[in-house]
Amino acid sequence: MTMMRKKFFVSKFAFLNWKTTLTRKTLVALLE
């Protein structure tokens, strides 16, 4: 795997992880 591809996949995964965390926090805030 090339360096650029690795960087792209890592950033994509980090973005999805951040979005999931944000969504979960929003749901918790709405349910409280």
Measured CA to CA, the distance from residue 27 to residue 18 in angstroms comes to 14
Distances (CA, A) of 32 to 1, 14, 15, 29: 45, 27, 26, 5
Q: How confident is the model at residue 32 (pLDDT cuts 50, 70, 90)?
A: confident
Measured CA to CA, the distance from residue 14 to residue 6 in angstroms comes to 12
pLDDT of residue 1: 67
Measured CA to CA, the distance from residue 28 to residue 22 in angstroms comes to 10
Whole-prediction pTM: 0.60
What are the tens digits of pLDDT across the range 1-15?
688 999 999 999 999
